[in-house]
Amino acid sequence: MKKSKSIITLLVLLFCSRILLAQETNIIGNAPYLPNQVLALYGYDDYLTLTPLKKQEITSDANGKFSFAFKNSSTSLVFLKYKNVKVSFYCEPGKTYRLRILKLDSIANQNLSADIEAEAIFQNYDSLELNQLIAKYNKYLDNFYLDNSKLIVVKAIKVLYKKIEDFKKQTQKDFAYANNAYFKSYIKSSFAALDEIVFTPKASIYKEYYSGVLQYHSYDYIQGISSHFTDYLEQLGLTKKGASIFDDINIRHNYDALKKSVSKADSIVTNDTLRELLVIKGLGELYYKASTKKYGVELVLEQIIKQALSKQNKTIAQNTLSRLTYLQINSKAPDFDTIDATGTAIKLSSLTGKMVYLNFWSVNSISSMEELLAIKKLNEKYNGIISFVSVCSDEDSDAAKSFVKKNKLAWNMVYDKDKKVANIYTIKVVPAFFLIDKDGFLIKSPAESPSQNIEDTFRDMSQKKEKKGKVGEKD
């Protein structure tokens, strides 16, 4: 009885300590050129897949001022985002960050491709603050790479080895004043990358940097592991001892068998939890390779989600599977909630009951506007069985609205100037098309455009519906 009470007491103390560790972190910002702008604060669900996790969303005031406040129990990498522009920095529990976001040119902000990184100036400058320390060390490290670039190119290993060891010692001396645990770990992660330059054996790097407790909450530590163990599963599968790895995935679809095969083939990694993490990462890398069947990878990941050795590995496996199957045929179409051109609320999931032909366009893309004119004819012909939704993510929607009005394009027109919908569908270039069935699942992803004869699919669907509706006929 006493033993059970002591265990309960310990659990309570651990729970309370976690609550006490969670402290309020504040971000107070200023961007005069962003009045009344929607800004979102994101963290990451995990640092391997880098799955964004929205913490808060606010609107700046008329002067572009904004603030966020959130509970934080460990140092984390966060980013502020508006439209497709992001500002990344580290946040420590209990700290207040005052920053000014620097303005980007309008051309960069119009780009629909990958997110654009903007810079921020920290107005409450402190040389011992983590972001300042990392910025200073990065310049220090960049100078080392620059000074020794020729030696690195010609692979002068013996000379480089001495220089790297001297650099490590000098770094420890020059930054001895910085008593920040995360910063020390950051430096150590950079040392692992330096050791790889001189072909330090993988076993030695593992023992020195990665054999301890996994630091799931350190972005740089997890990204260091990701970089060091690239193609981990594929490389093991090509060895004699790991010859059964591909069959475990492609034929047996069995995680228990895969674990045994990996354990047999890997003579370096002794930490079971890390090995499992590397298997998850390796499955993600194999997914699009000819040597592996996608279905097998998905089944193994589903098994890992159920029986992972740690909660974090379970999350990473789930995020890996979600990322791999995102926007794939037969997956659920990502929902969105917005306002159409008439001011009417439109939610994708509310359109169930009809197929949805979703397309993205821009006035900066002549081909996308030509496709839009072709959709006009399709809408007139098939609007009884298909809902047409067209999304324009141009910063300035006036030209788009003028084009729509001039050509009398009368269906669900969405002006997505904040790029929310475009980001959900990871739109890199326009035009882009998706066909969604009446239950909200993707039939074609991407779908053909009107000029690529998407009407053939519409016609088939229409004929099936007509046949299904006739009394006395079988489906």
Domain 20-125 has CATH 2.60.40.180: yes
Q: Rounded to whole angstroms, how far apart are CA atoms 63 and 84?
A: 21
Nearest CA to 371 among 355, 387, 391? 391
Q: Which two tokens stand for residue 113?
A: 């491709």
- Domain ranges in the chain? 20-125, 132-228, 232-325, 337-468
Q: Rounded to whole angstroms, how far apart are CA atoms 185 and 436?
A: 47
Q: Residue range 334-341: average pLDDT?
A: 88
Partners of 85 in the β-ladder? 82, 116
Element (H, E) at 367: helix 366-382
Query: What is the torsional sign of CA 200, 202, 204, 209?
Result: positive
| Global confidence as pTM | 0.83
| CATH architecture of the domain with range 337-468 | 3-Layer(aba) Sandwich (3.40)
DSSP string of 271-323, one letter each residue: -HHHHHHHHHHHHHHHTTSTTS-HHHHHHHHHHHHHH-SSHHHHHHHHHHHHH
- Condensed to tens digits (0 to 9), the pLDDT of residues 76-85 reads 999 999 888 8
**Amino acid identity for residue 362 in this structure:** S
Report the percentage of the chain scoring pLDDT > 70.
91
Residue 400 CA from chain centroid, whole number = 30
Nearest CA to 66 among 92, 103, 94, 27? 27
How far is the first Cα of the chain from the last one, in angstroms, to the nearest whole number? Answer: 67
Give the CA distances from residue 354 to residues 318, 326, 349, 433, 436, in Å, rounded to whole numbers and listed in that order.
30, 22, 11, 17, 9
- Condensed to tens digits (0 to 9), the pLDDT of residues 418-452 reads 888 998 998 988 999 999 999 999 999 999 999 99
Q: Rounded to whole angstroms, how far apart are CA atoms 354 and 226?
A: 43
**Given a cut of 50, is residue 473 above it in pLDDT?**
no
Q: Rounded to whole angstroms, how far apart are CA atoms 296 and 168?
A: 44
**Given a cut of 70, is residue 123 above it in pLDDT?**
yes
DSSP string of 60-104, one letter each residue: --TTSEEEEEEEESS-EEEEEEETTEEEEEEE-TT-EEEEEEPPP
Query: Tokens 């690239």 label which residue?
Result: 230
- Condensed to tens digits (0 to 9), the pLDDT of residues 23-55 reads 999 999 999 989 999 999 999 999 999 999 999
246 within 8 A of 257, measured Cβ to Cβ = no
441 within 8 A of 330, measured Cβ to Cβ = yes
**Given a cut of 60, is residue 172 above it in pLDDT?**
yes
